[in-house]
């Protein structure tokens, strides 16, 4: 595995530059098939699937982060790397993401694993190729939590799970996001979340309350007043406590890789210093000094270091 030499040591430059960095995903060479999965009576989830020309060596299921989609940059570049290596790729849009607000009566949250489980079971029915679940940021929390929920039962469904820049302690990360130096990130997420609530209200009238939506000023406040009541949690604290992957790590029984920058501006590194990781032989924490949040732009080629690391890990782990 090539050591990480960052293109930028500043975590905010890493985070922002990676967000705007050009990413390649060849759709002529690897045609895209859009599939809708009805995971519940009023829920349809959109997945974009691409396959290599030859028989797939395995399958990679990619899960995006907060307010992302199957078209997020890190999803596209990881898909390209996996396809070139001979893997089939499934880029998942969480509920109401990727322009699918009209397809689901409910939205997504950081611990809502049922849709992913539905997809994994479908893939298991289709063939024996090993499946790797790869999550970014919020998607990483989902991936790790699902693997922990399944415990030993994950083995027929998953060959491994990988999480990049993951808020495994939702409370700690939500409060860190509210720090003054992260104001721009938090406001961007809030604008997108509020827009999504309004769009979904148009498609599902009467399902959501827009009262005082404009007065919400933080992610914690949004989760307290919107997310928690929508999914039956008492409040944001109850939501964070029950849906954080940290509480499920010790139960993971498939190989797992956590890729994390110590200078991640929105995920405090001390949340990874816990027995759920250090005492679980199935989990490997790959921590680097610099890298920002879903950044990991390298000074040397390959520039997209995290893509290469994840791909190497998959090829080494695949049965």
How many whole angstroms separate alpha carbon 220 and alpha carbon 242? 15
Q: What is the pLDDT of residue 190?
A: 97
Arithmetic mean of pLDDT over the chain: 96
What is the residue extent of each domain of the chain?
11-170+246-317
Residues in the chain, pLDDT under 50: none
How many whole angstroms separate alpha carbon 160 and alpha carbon 290? 25
Burial (CB < 10 A; 0-12, 13-18, 19+), residue 121, is exposed
pTM: 0.97
List the structure tokens of 53.
Answer: 């020309």
Q: What is the pLDDT of residue 210?
A: 80
Residue 179 sits at φ, ψ, to 5 deg, of -65, 150
CB 314 within 8 A of CB 132: yes
CB 33 within 8 A of CB 108: no
Q: What is the pLDDT of residue 1?
A: 73
CB 297 within 8 A of CB 73: no
Q: What is the pLDDT of residue 9?
A: 97
Q: In sequence order, what are the residues at sequence separation of 6 or more whose Cβ sits closer than 8 angstroms to the Cβ of residue 207?
A: 105, 200, 201
How many whole angstroms separate alpha carbon 164 and alpha carbon 90? 17
Q: Where are the alpha helices (DSSP H) in the chain?
A: 11-20, 73-84, 114-126, 138-150, 170-177, 183-203, 219-222, 228-230, 236-243, 275-278, 305-317
Q: In sequence order, what are the residues at sequence separation of 6 or more whose Cβ sits closer than 8 angstroms to the Cβ of residue 155?
A: 253, 254
pLDDT tens for residues 195-219?
999 998 888 887 777 878 999 999 9
Q: What is the pLDDT of residue 62?
A: 98
Residue 33 sits at φ, ψ, to 5 deg, of -115, 120
Q: Does domain 11-170+246-317 have CATH number 3.40.50.1820?
A: yes
Q: What is the pLDDT of residue 117?
A: 98
pLDDT tens for residues 89-139?
999 999 999 999 999 999 999 999 999 999 999 999 987 779 999 999 999
CB 254 within 8 A of CB 160: yes
Percent of the chain with pLDDT over 70: 100
pLDDT tens for residues 286-298?
999 999 999 999 9
Q: What is the pLDDT of residue 197?
A: 92
How many whole angstroms separate alpha carbon 174 and alpha carbon 110? 11
Q: Using the 8-state DSSP alphabet, how is residue 208 labeled?
A: S
């Amino acid at each position: 595995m090539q050591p990480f030499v960052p293109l930028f040591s500043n975590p905010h430059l890493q985070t922002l530059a990676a967000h705007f960095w050009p990413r390649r995903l060849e759709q002529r060479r690897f045609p895209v098939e859009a599939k809708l999965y009805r995971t519940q009576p009023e829920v349809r989830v959109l997945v974009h699937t691409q396959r290599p020309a030859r028989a797939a060596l395995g399958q990679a299921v990619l899960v995006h982060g907060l307010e992302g989609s199957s078209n997020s940059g890190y999803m596209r570049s990881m898909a390209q790397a996996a396809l070139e290596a001979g893997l089939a790729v499934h880029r998942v849009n969480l509920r109401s993401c990727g322009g699918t607000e009209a397809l689901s009566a409910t939205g997504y949250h950081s611990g809502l694993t049922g849709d992913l489980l539905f997809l994994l079971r479908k893939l298991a029915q289709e063939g024996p190729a090993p499946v790797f679940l790869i999550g970014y940021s919020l998607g990483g929390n989902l991936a790790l939590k699902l693997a922990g929920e399944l415990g030993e039962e994950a083995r027929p469904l998953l060959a491994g799970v990988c999480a990049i820049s993951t808020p495994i302690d939702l409370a700690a990360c939500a409060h860190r996001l509210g720090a003054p130096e992260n104001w721009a990130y938090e406001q961007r997420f809030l604008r997108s979340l509020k827009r999504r609530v309004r769009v979904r209200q148009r498609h599902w009238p009467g399902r959501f309350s827009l009262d005082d939506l404009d007065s919400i000023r933080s992610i914690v406040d949004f989760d307290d007043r919107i997310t928690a009541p929508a999914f039956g949690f008492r409040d944001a604290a109850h939501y964070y406590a029950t849906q954080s992957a940290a509480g499920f790590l010790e139960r993971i029984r498939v190989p797992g890789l956590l890729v994390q920058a110590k200078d991640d501006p929105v995920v405090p590194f001390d949340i990874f210093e816990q027995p759920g990781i250090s005492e679980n032989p199935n989990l490997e924490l790959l921590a680097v000094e610099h890298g920002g949040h879903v950044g990991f732009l390298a000074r040397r080629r390959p520039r997209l270091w995290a893509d290469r690391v994840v791909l190497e890990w998959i090829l080494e782990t695949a049965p």
